[in-house]
Amino acid sequence: MIIKVTLKEPDDFYEAIMAAVADDVAAIPGLDAEEHEAVLEARQTKTFEKMAKWLRYGEYVDLIFDTDTMTATVKVQE
C-alpha cells in the first residue's frame, strides 16, 4: 500500500536550516564580524536553494510510504 503525506512546517524547516548554517559558519576560524555575516548570509541563501529540491515554498514536504517494500521517500519537487 502507498501512503502519501504532505507536512507543512514553516518554522521548523526555516529554524533548522538557519541553525545548521550558523553552526557551520561559527566553526570557520579567523572571520571578523563583517565577514562572518557575509558568509552566513551567502550560505543561508545557498542552503535554502539546495533544500528547494525537497521543500515546496520552504515549508511543505511530501513523503511517500510504501508498506509493501517498507520504504519511505521524500518527493523531489519539479
CA dist., res. 4 & res. 23, Å (int): 33
pTM above 0.75, yes or no: yes
CB atoms within 10 A of CB 51: 16
Amino acid at 16: A
Task: Write down the domain spans for the chain.
Answer: 2-74
Give the pLDDT confidence of 12-36 residue by residue, as tens digits: 989 999 999 999 999 999 999 999 9
pLDDT of residue 9: 87
